[in-house]
């Protein structure tokens, strides 16, 4: 696997940036309002978006959907959304719960 830790961090930053752009567009918020609660809000929104069936878990099928919808191929690095499961599925159940998602971001 080509996804190294530094590339993985860059990919996660890119995901947060994309979510932030959506949020700013939706809410017309001040983009300079960078704090913990804002990041939590962005991660919450991203989790809801990724969790298509709203069961509180993100699985590989939902990640595949997001990759297709957002056209998130291997554009920026050797990492993909699937690496979220590889690096941040702490209990190895092949799902990401919200707590694991928080830890990831």
Q: Which pLDDT does position 54 carry in this prediction?
A: 97
* Higher-pLDDT residue of 74, 101: 101
* Higher-pLDDT residue of 26, 3: 3
Ramachandran angles phi, psi of 85, nearest 5°: -65, -40
**pLDDT per position as a tens digit, 17-75:** 888 887 766 555 555 555 778 888 899 999 999 999 999 999 999 999 998 888 776 56
Cα–Cα distance measured from residue 52 to residue 61, given in angstroms and rounded to the nearest whole number: 9
Q: Which pLDDT does position 34 carry in this prediction?
A: 59
Cα–Cα distance measured from residue 75 to residue 14, given in angstroms and rounded to the nearest whole number: 11
Q: Which pLDDT does position 33 carry in this prediction?
A: 53
Q: What are the chain's domains?
A: 5-104 (1.10.238.10)
> Which residue intervals of 28-59 are DSSP H helices?
36-50
pTM of the predicted structure, to 2 decimals: 0.81
């Amino acid at each position: 696997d080509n996804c190294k830790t530094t590339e993985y961090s860059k990919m996660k930053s890119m995901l947060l940036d994309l979510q932030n752009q959506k949020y700013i567009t939706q809410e017309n918020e001040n983009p300079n309002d960078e704090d913990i609660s804002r990041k939590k809000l962005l991660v919450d929104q991203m989790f809801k978006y990724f969790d298509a069936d709203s069961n509180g878990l993100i699985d590989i099928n939902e990640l595949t959907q997001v990759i297709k919808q957002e056209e998130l191929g291997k554009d920026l690095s050797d990492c993909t959304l699937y690496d979220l499961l590889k690096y941040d599925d702490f209990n190895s159940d092949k799902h990401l719960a919200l707590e694991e998602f928080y830890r990831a971001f």
